[in-house]
Amino acid sequence: MTDSRIRDIIIVGGGTAGWMVAAALSRFLRNDYTKIRLIESEEIGTVGVGEATIPPIRSFLAMLRIDESDFIRRTQGTYKLGIEFVDWARPGHRYMHPFGQFGADIEGVPFHQYWLRQAALGKAPPIDEFSLTTVAAREGRFGAVSGRGFPQNHWAYAYQFDASLVAAYLREYAERTGVVRTEGRVVDVALNPESGHLESLLLKSGERVDGDFFIDCSGFSALLIEKTMQVKFQDWSQWLPCDRAVAVPSQNVAPPKPFTRSTALPAGWQWRIPLQYRTGNGYVYASQTISDDQAAATLLANLEGEALAEPRVIPFRTGRRKTFWTKNCLAMGLAAGFLEPLESTAIHLVQQGIARLLALFPDKNFSAIEIGEYNRQMSATYEQIRDFLILHYKLNERDDSGLWRYCRDMAIPESLQHKMDLFAGKGRCFRYEDDLFSVTSWVAVMLGQGIQPTGYDEVVNSMSEQELDDVLNRMLEGIRANVRKMPSQLDFLNFRTP
C-alpha cells in the first residue's frame, strides 16, 4: 500500500505570516515523518506594519501554549480593548468599536434593543457607557474583571505589538520545535508536467528544494500562487479605494493607552498604535487623491512624538485570490489577499487559514472536495470582513474631499446593504455563518457612523420603564465598579513584564 502522507512541507516567506504557519504546523504535526522547512531571504524583507490584533489572537497563543506575559514582554506589547474612530462619521465626532459586548442580553433579547427603547424616550446614556472595555480604555486602565455575577463576556482584549519582534518570537518557537529555516531566494519553480503540481524550488545558491506541499507566504509578490500557479486576484478597490500606506514609528509622549486610534483625513485615515517603548503610526490613503510625499508630510505633521525613522511607503491592492488553495499550493497572509489595516484583521486571517488547514489537512492525493471546502470557508470570511470595512467608508457625512463623497455615494455589495437596511428599521442585527465580527461590533459601527434605527423590537416593551431603568443602572454601576478596581495599563504592564 502506497504511503500517501505529506512528508515535506515547504513554506516560502517568513515574516509574521510565515512564522505563524511554521509555529502552528510544528506544534500539531510533531512527528518523525513530517518535515517542515521555511525559506526566506533577508534581502527581500517583510512589510511588518500589522501591529494591532483582535481578541482571537489569544486563542492562537493558547493553542501554541505560549505564556501571555512572556509574549507581551518579548514583543514590547500592550493590551488593546478596542478601536477609537475619530472624525469618521463627520469632523469632530468620535466613537469606540469595543471588544466584549454592550451591557448584557435580557431574557434572550439583545441588550441594544433595550437601549434603543430608552433612547427613543430620551433617557438612555451613550451606549459607550455600557461597554466595560470602552470605559476602561478611555481611562487607560487594564486588569481583571472581578465583579460578582458580572458577565464575563463584557471583557475581551487583544494585543498591540512590534510585528518584527513577533516574527522573531515565533521563529524561535518554530525552530525549537523542529522547523528548519533556509536563508535563500527562490529564482525558479518547477511544476510536474502531468499533474500541474509544484515539485521543487531552485534557490539563488543553486540548491534545489523538493516538497509535497507548498505554502506561499511570499507577501504581495505571491511568488507561487500567482506567478507560478496563475491564480488571479479579485480586486475590491471599487469599495475600498485606498491603495497605499506610509508608516513611521515615533516616541511615546504619554503612557500607552489600551486601544488603537483611527483618525479620518481627507485622503484616507491615520492609525496610532501605542506600544511599550514607541508608537506605531501610519497613513492609509488613496494615491489618486494625494502624492506619496504629501501623505508622508501629512503623517509627520500629525505625530504626537518625534519620528524615530524615515517614513516608508507601502503600495497595496485590496482584494483576495479567487482561490486560496489550488493543487498542492496554499496561499497565506498577503499572498492570499489584503483588506487594509482598518480593523486589524490581517493577522487574524492568517490564524483562520491555519485553523482551517489543520481541520482539512491533506495527504498527497489533495482531495478536490476538501480543497474546495477550504476555499469556500476562507472566501466567506474575506467577504464578511470586506463588508464590515466598507461599512465604515459608506456611512459618512464628510464633505471635505472627493474620496469621502465617492465612498458615500458608491454602490455596495447586496450583503452589506441588507444588513444596513435591517438595522435601520428596528435595530435587527444577526451574526451569520462564522462571522468574525459580533453583533456588538456591527451595532457599534452602525450607530457610531450614524444609522439610528426608526424603531426597536416590540418584545422589550414587556418590561416596565422603571424595571428597565433599574436594570440599566445596575449594569452601569457594575461597569464603573470594575473599572475603579483596575490599575492603569502601565502599572499592569510593569507588574506583569518586569
- DSSP 8-state secondary structure symbol assigned to residue 427: -
The answer for 122, left when phi > 0, alpha when psi is -120 to 50, beta otherwise, is left
Please state, in angstroms and rounded to a whole number, the distance separating the CA atoms of residues 409 and 405: 6
CA nearest to 162, candidates 72, 242, 91, 80? 72
- Selecting among 80, 257, 394, 419, the annotated active-site residue is 80
| Catalytic residue flag (residue 80) | yes
Q: Residue 283 has which C-alpha cell?
A: 497613513
Q: Do the beta carbons of residue 142 and residue 274 sit within 8 Å? A: no
Give the residue carrying C-alpha cell 524550488: 201
3-state secondary structure of 304: coil
Q: Residue 398 has which C-alpha cell?
A: 464628510
Q: Do the beta carbons of residue 133 and residue 479 sit within 8 Å? A: no
Long-range contacts of 323-327 (CB under 8 A, 24+ apart): 323/231, 323/375, 324/225, 324/353, 324/374, 324/375, 324/378, 324/379, 325/371, 325/374, 325/375, 326/225, 326/229, 326/231, 326/371, 327/195, 327/196, 327/197, 327/198, 327/229, 327/366
Mind telling me the catalytic residues?
80
